[in-house]
Amino acid sequence: MGKVIGIVSIKGGVGKTTIAASLAADLVNNCGKKILLIDANYSAPNLGLHMDILLPEKTIHDVLEGRARMKTAAYNRYGVDVVAGSYVYEKKINTLKLKNRINNIRNDYDFIIIDSSPSLNEEVLSAMLASDNLFIVSTPDYPTLSCSMKAAKLAKQRGLRINGIMLNKIKDPKHEISIREIEETLAIPVVASFTENKIHGRALFTRVPVSLYDKKSSFSREIHNLSLALCNKKENKPLWKRIFSFNMKREEVNRQLLKESFNKKY
């Protein structure tokens, strides 16, 4: 049965869609997994723009309204089955049906990845409640950290499992909140960190997930490390890194723990 992974935050623009698209593409193309990727940012969907789906005929809105099945609304892009959102939908939809719709197709995939909305309302709750595992995307600044605290609180109140923080858009570490401080504040491990980089703009412009657009970038390598942990596989490290393993980054240690907890049989 496929594991459902929610990529959440209640702050816009932190990189949820970028990470969800790249993780999905990496899991398919570099780990051989079967992936369904869903846009659950119902009021401002844009996953299609990252995955080269410009005018979807069937969308997640149709799936929730019962007018389409998840499978028929999925477009295959870069090997990933993607259910995009409608850019023009205005009627109210019952977003809490997402869990039920996913349950119907769980057996067909290894992982179902949900890209969430940043709105602190039923939209983000829909993604959280439909997920077995949550990752909070944050950036290293105080306004975003306070939003991440709210997201963590919301998930914890519902008894949901938060597997880690993905820290994105690091650009000036000396003048930004450190990974240690983020972990202490949120009491959640940082399992991946990404620097700010202009390849993201280029990848988005060509509508190719960054993990495929520039496979050698530090972003793509970190995404792949995350994929390996989710797939219960060891990271491929160069020899010198294996010899000097006392130099391991915090995120790498956290990923080892993630690998164990994520793949534990309950």
Ligand X SMILES: Nc1ncnc2c1ncn2[C@@H]1O[C@H](COP(=O)(O)OP(=O)(O)OP(=O)(O)O)[C@@H](O)[C@H]1O
Figure out which of the listed residues 194, 211, 217, 228 binds ligand X, where binding follows CB under 6 A. Answer: 194
Nearer to Mg ion, 50 or 101 (CB): 50
Rule CB under 6 A: say whether 126 interacts with ligand X: no
Regarding 200 and contact with Mg ion (CB under 5 A), the answer is: no
Residue 204 C-beta: closest distance to ligand X, Å:
4
Contacts (CB under 6 A) with ligand X, residues 26-65 = 41
Closer residue to ligand X (CB): 206 or 247: 206
- List the 111-116 sheet strands across, edge first: 75-77, 80-83, 35-40, 111-116, 3-8, 133-138, 162-170, 190-195
Q: Is 85 exposed, middle or buried (0-12, 13-18, 19+ CB in 10 A)?
A: buried
Give the one residue of 200, 224, 255, 259 binding ligand X; rule: CB under 6 A: 200
- By CB under 6 A, name the one of 4, 5, 14, 226 that touches ligand X: 14
Does residue 18 bind ligand X (CB under 6 A)?
yes
DSSP 115-128: EEP--TTHHHHHHH
Dihedral, CA of residue 15, residue 20, residue 25 and residue 31, to nearest 10: 120
Told to check if 218 binds ligand X by CB under 6 A, we report no
Instruction: List, in order, residues 6 or more apart from 60 with CB less than 8 Å away.
Output: 38, 39, 40, 42, 45, 73, 83, 84, 85, 86, 98
Site for Mg ion in 15-44 (CB under 5 A): 16-17
Q: Cβ contacts of residue 35 below 8 Å, gap of 6+?
A: 24, 27, 28, 79, 80, 81, 109, 110, 111, 112, 113
Q: Segment 74-113, which members bind ligand X (CB under 6 A)?
A: none
**Does 168 sit near ligand X (CB under 6 A)?**
yes
Please report whether residue 15 would count as binding ligand X according to CB under 6 A. yes
138 scored as a contact of ligand X (CB under 6 A):
no
Residues that bind ligand X (CB under 6 A): 9, 12-18, 41, 118, 168-169, 194, 196-197, 200-201, 204
